[in-house]
Amino acid sequence: MTPHDNNARHTDMAGKRPMISTAAVVRDVRDRIASQALLPGSRIPEEDLAQHYGITRAKAREVLATLEDRGLVERVPNKGAVVIPVDMSTTYQLYEVREALDSLSVRLAMQNATPDDWRELEQWLGPPFEQSLRDGDIEAHVDTIMRFRDRLTQLAANPILSDLFERIYDRTRVTMRRVALLPGRADMGIKQYRDLLAAMMRNDVDAADRCVRELNSSAREYIQRYKDYLL
């Protein structure tokens, strides 16, 4: 495992060796769980975590406590910290909450976005967005969606909203990638995201809210229809 955030490394007060922040370790483990480099049911021993990242046992416990708080691991007697399996019922409920947060994020972003912001978002959802799907590069396709969503959250400029989104994405990123592979879902999503952006650029709050509901409700329908495949 190689920490993703090299900038998080710093030198300790004695100047003897590079250190890595607790937050950077949390981000790296979160990414590994989302990409399934750490599979559901995998154990994350405190001692191994401390040794791999070069952190103290106390910091390793802090990392595991944060991951537990985010619903990514659970403490199991005689096993320690274990990656929580994907629960489709919970995932469905998370998508319901995401819809409400999406509506708020979109409204706030519409208030704060500049013409340059709209142009940037249009480029992201332009021909390359569709081409990545045609090329079978589902990772690039989903990454564009995540960048688009992250940018709207940034434009919303609400730290509490950002934290809530981050917690939901931590627990749904695996499902998002699997849903994108389902028959017809990605093509539908391209149109839905473009319709949403168009409504936002027109400053049509009602239309944007309808787009948010349509996007999320169709995702939930796919989750329900293909739940056996997604598990």
Give pLDDT, residue 18: 59
Question: Model confidence over 25-38: pLDDT tens digits?
Answer: 999 999 898 878 89
10: pLDDT strictly greater than 60:
no
Q: Are residues 32 and 136 in the same domain?
A: no
Instruction: Specify if 9 maps to a domain.
Output: no
Instruction: Specify if 76 maps to a domain.
Output: yes
CATH number of the structural domain spanning residue 162: 1.20.120.530
Q: Helix H segments across the chain?
A: 22-34, 46-53, 57-69, 88-112, 115-124, 127-134, 138-156, 159-180, 185-201, 205-225, 227-230
Q: Are residues 155 and 194 in the same domain?
A: yes
Range of the domain at 31: 22-83
Question: Model confidence over 218-231: pLDDT tens digits?
Answer: 999 988 888 777 65
User: Where does residue 134 rank: exposed (0-12), middle (13-18), buried (19+ CB within 10 A)?
Assistant: exposed
Confidence of residue 99 (pLDDT cuts 50, 70, 90): very high
Q: Are residues 51 and 64 in the same domain?
A: yes
6: pLDDT strictly greater than 80:
no
Domain boundary among 83, 98, 113: 83
Q: Bigger pLDDT: 176 or 231?
A: 176
Residue type, 7: N
Q: What is the DSSP letter of 44?
A: -
φ, ψ for residue 43, nearest 5 deg: -85, 145
CA dihedral 98, 88, 150, 160 (to 10 degrees): 50
The rounded percent of the chain whose pLDDT value lies above 90 is 61
Q: Are residues 50 and 124 in the same domain?
A: no
Q: From CA 49, how far away is CA 19, in angstroms rounded?
A: 14
Helix (H/G/I), strand (E/B), else coil: 116: helix
CATH number of the structural domain spanning residue 54: 1.10.10.10
Instruction: Specify if 54 maps to a domain.
Output: yes
Q: Are residues 111 and 62 in the same domain?
A: no
Paired strand residues for 231: none
Q: What mean pLDDT is predicted for residues 118-122? A: 97
Confidence of residue 65 (pLDDT cuts 50, 70, 90): very high
CB 87 within 8 A of CB 49: no
